[in-house]
Amino acid sequence: MGLTGNGARIDGVNPAHIVAVRDFSSETLMAIAAHLDVSTDFEHLVYREAELDAVWSLSGFTLSQTQDSAVARLHEAAHRAHDLVGEGRPREAAALLRKFF
């Protein structure tokens, strides 16, 4: 579909590419979810974990400034998705993220 999320193309997704997580916009979450869908190797899962760590960190910084229930839900979901990746379940993590875009 040719959509670009922070530098990562959704079509022709390369799981060895780390998505540049500068925010937790829909585009960023879509890019991470697309990469999660095709991640299989140890290295890929490490990159996905790093991206989800970054989403969790950024949403946490936002929550420390202002209470926003949508951001709070995303923050929790990023945590859960991160743990799913750690458990070797990236596609379940992608499904979780898709609830937010």
Partner 1 sequence: MLSHEENHLLTHTKPGTPAGAYFRRYWLPALLAGEVPAPDCPPVRLRILGEDLIAFRDTQGRVGIVDEFCPHRRASLFWGRNEECGLRCVYHGWKFDTTGACIDMPNEPPEYGFDNKVRITAYPTREYGGLIWIYMGPTEHVPELPKLEWARVPETHRYISKRFQETNFLQAIEGGIDSSHSNFLHASVEAFRVTDDYVEKVKNSSNLRARYHLLDKAPRFTVKKTDYGLVIAVRRNAEEDTYYWRLTQFLLPSHTMIPYQKGLSIHGHCWVPRDDETCWVWTMSWNPDAPLSEEEWKAIREETFVHARVEPSTFRPLRNKDNNYQIDRSRQQTESMTGIHGFAAQDQALQESMGPAVDRTRERLGTSDTAIIAMRRLLLQEIRALQENQEPAAAHHGDVYWVRSASLVLKREVPFDEGARDLTVAEV
Q: Which stretch binds partner 1 (CB under 8 A): 7-15, 23-31, 68-76, 79-87?
A: 79-87
Q: Regarding beta strands 8-9 and 4-5, do their DSSP bridges make them parallel or antiparallel, or are they unpaired?
A: antiparallel
Asked whether position 54 contacts partner 1 by CB under 8 A, the answer is yes
Q: Provide CB contacts within 8 A for 101, sequence distance 6+.
A: 26, 29, 30, 33
- From 7-15, 19-27, 65-73, 92-100, give the range in contact with partner 1 by CB under 8 A: 19-27
* Closest approach of partner 1 to the CB of residue 64, in Å: 10
Q: Which of these, 26, 36, 91, 94, lies nearest to 5 by C-alpha position? A: 26
Query: Is position 93 an interface residue for partner 1 (rule: CB under 8 A)?
Result: no
